[in-house]
Structure 1
């Protein structure tokens, strides 16, 4: 069985290395870096290999959702482990799983990290789509790990007869190597989604900035005019959608949801900062309420997450404060045990932004 284990692990390592070498996104990045003929100056064997990889460069990054390496590697890994399970020799099965899965730590993770560095640095707009596909790769890797573990455990239960053997092999299938890979993919995914948020936060701030020029101390005629010609929210949302369009078209739904989750927090915090600098009367506060509700509803529609509204709780409470008929209305909330996400200082400062509320009445509030 030692020879069998050696053959299987060597076969997998060679297949693994070849999958990385033939990886379509890796080839595209090489072509992007050096668009000249990649065959130039190569020997016959190397030229033949490059001719095969050049087929990949005929693809556009927009043609793929995930790169080829993910499917290729997990297809071979599943085959190798399935064959070892068919041997019915539990020590050999565990040895094959442990030896083959070690390639993920030594080859797969470093390769992913290299691709991330190549696509994030420099001109991000030029390499953005490649970066997004790599994020898809990480998410798909974790999906495949979970799916493959379930399949291999089912196969083990079908083929092996003793509970001890099934337990031992199941532990190997769900062992440290694949758990480490899954955890690392999740960490990298989180870190790099946050990098996208950092990149997008600057243009989002610019899209929100025009709210500074909107007048929110308005009369009936101005309020009616705002109803006909939206002064802020629609323009912001149209530009927001344009900004997100390339991300939405490439990213897997689960990753795009994570991105919207983070961006919603940023949008809410930025709007709050601007609102605290403005003055309102009752009609202006009503208009702001419409603007905020429109933005929240739109963000909810962008994601499949049902709890995205919690990102805007503080903003919703700010609107509640600003749309009160009189200062003392807040006492009704206090008596009902309402859970404010705003501090007492925040509440008083916001009520003071209502130009039609007496400042002394705000100051005298007992909260």
Structure 2
């Protein structure tokens, strides 16, 4: 156990490095080196043909992953976040790099413009997050390889068949370690979005003053001179391209999914505080569809469901009278909006003619 800890500690503190010349190398050496040591330790224990020795080493490996290795990942994330959070506030650092140039090139330089040395994951938050995600994949492969080797050395009809359950119990403990790292990854993606949102927040500010109680002429002007969605999508795409360039696909996807969800909540909040004309409702629908289209196009996973409440809001706001409200109420079995939200939206229409009694009669509450 002491040798195992010492070897992993060396991979964490002494040999960790990243290549500043290779933009395709998203991780540092830390993860591969550490998991190589963990795998070799378990494989050697299996060749002893002693189930008790195997289980002891498997438990030690799981302890290292849940303890020292996890703490190293956390420490690197915390230290690198301090540097990256300042670096990423500058718009020029999100711009697409020249061909062959590393998108994080300036992050790797010290205040005098010299390349930091040694260059480790503690100096690059994207690499630290990629290390964390790579650890999830490596943990799966580690578990799979040790189970295959165990089957070879300890067959189900062998002399130690009654002890196989001991091994299975020890290996099952890896699930808890993986679950913990998955939770850590999700939280770190939220941290990443919080750092990147500084560039998106100004694009959401127009929602505070945007007027949806507009005339037909104003609506026509909005179609030509988009006051909100186009600029938002343009800036969101800059963030998306940066995330794609420096993060593994799964982490970049998680950040975009969270961005979509937070954007929806922000627009919902704004909509519930506005006044709408019918033309304003049409403009609101146009904005929602444009932003939904952007996130759908850049995401690998389905996320249209995140916009479900906004589309329901849009449908309500675009009703032209009580008859259409009656028809909509008969078609929707389960509303995503709360009763008070529905009433608030209907009353926010400056040109929707319906009494409180008529609205109450038609809503299924």
Q: Which shows bigger deviation, 213-222 or 82-91?
A: 213-222
Q: Is 1:86 aligned to residue 78 of structure 2?
A: no
- Cα shift readout 1:298-355 (whole Å, capped 9, x = no counterpart): 112222112x112111111110111112144222232234311112221111112221
Q: After TM superposition, give the deviation of residue 218 of structure 1 in Å.
A: 3.9
Partner of 1:29: none
- Secondary structure in 1 aligned to 2:205? helix
Q: What RMSD over aligned residues (CA atoms) do the two structures have, in Å?
A: 2.6
Q: After TM superposition, give the deviation of residue 243 of structure 1 in Å.
A: 3.2
Question: Which protein has the bigger helix share?
Answer: 1
Q: Is 1:245 aligned to residue 237 of structure 2?
A: no
Partner of 1:260: 256
Q: After TM superposition, give the deviation of residue 228 of structure 1 in Å.
A: 3.3
Q: Is 1:15 aligned to residue 7 of structure 2?
A: yes
Q: Is 1:282 aligned to residue 278 of structure 2?
A: yes
Q: After TM superposition, give the deviation of residue 268 of structure 1 in Å.
A: 0.7
- Secondary structure in 2 aligned to 1:352? helix
Q: After TM superposition, give the deviation of residue 60 of structure 1 in Å.
A: 5.6
Q: After TM superposition, give the deviation of residue 233 of structure 1 in Å.
A: 1.1
Q: Is 1:346 aligned to residue 338 of structure 2?
A: no
The 5 A counterparts of 1:12-91 are 12-24=4-16, 59=20, 62=23, 64-91=25-52
- Secondary structure in 1 aligned to 2:200? helix
Q: After TM superposition, give the deviation of residue 297 of structure 1 in Å.
A: 1.5
Are the counterparts in 1 of residues 309 and 337 from structure 2 also a CA contact under 8 Å? yes
Q: Of residues 309, 323, 328 in structure 2, which corresponds to 1:333? A: 328
Are the counterparts in 1 of residues 154 and 164 from structure 2 also a CA contact under 8 Å? yes
Are the counterparts in 2 of residues 351 and 362 from structure 1 also a CA contact under 8 Å? no
- Secondary structure in 1 aligned to 2:359? coil
Are the counterparts in 2 of residues 212 and 274 from structure 1 also a CA contact under 8 Å? yes
- Secondary structure in 1 aligned to 2:355? helix
Are the counterparts in 1 of residues 272 and 341 from structure 2 also a CA contact under 8 Å? no
Q: 2: distance between equivalents of 1:76 and 1:241?
A: 40
Partner of 2:166: 168
Are the counterparts in 1 of residues 206 and 227 from structure 2 also a CA contact under 8 Å? no
Q: 1: distance between equivalents of 2:83 and 2:10?
A: 28
Are the counterparts in 2 of residues 256 and 303 from structure 1 also a CA contact under 8 Å? no
Q: 2: distance between equivalents of 1:136 and 1:113?
A: 12
- Secondary structure in 2 aligned to 1:24? coil
Which TM-score applies when normalising by structure 1?
0.79
- Cα shift readout 1:12-31 (whole Å, capped 9, x = no counterpart): 33321221123435xxxxxx
| Structure 1 pair 100–236 and aligned structure 2 pair: CA distance change class (3 A) | closer
| Structure 1 pair 60–111 and aligned structure 2 pair: CA distance change class (3 A) | farther
Q: Which shows bigger deviation, 228-237 or 327-336?
A: 327-336
- Cα shift readout 1:52-103 (whole Å, capped 9, x = no counterpart): xxxx5x6369563112111111112212212221222212222222234433
Q: Is 1:209 aligned to residue 205 of structure 2?
A: yes
Q: 2: distance between equivalents of 1:61 and 1:20?
A: 21
Which TM-score applies when normalising by structure 2?
0.79
Q: After TM superposition, give the deviation of residue 123 of structure 1 in Å.
A: 6.5
Q: Is there any run of 5+ residues in structure 2 with no aligned partner, and where?
A: 90-103, 105-123
Partner of 1:53: none
- Cα shift readout 1:98-118 (whole Å, capped 9, x = no counterpart): 234433344212222222221
Q: After TM superposition, give the deviation of residue 220 of structure 1 in Å.
A: 4.0
- Cα shift readout 1:111-150 (whole Å, capped 9, x = no counterpart): 2222222123476133897222212212211211112111
| Structure 1 pair 355–258 and aligned structure 2 pair: CA distance change class (3 A) | same
Partner of 2:351: 356
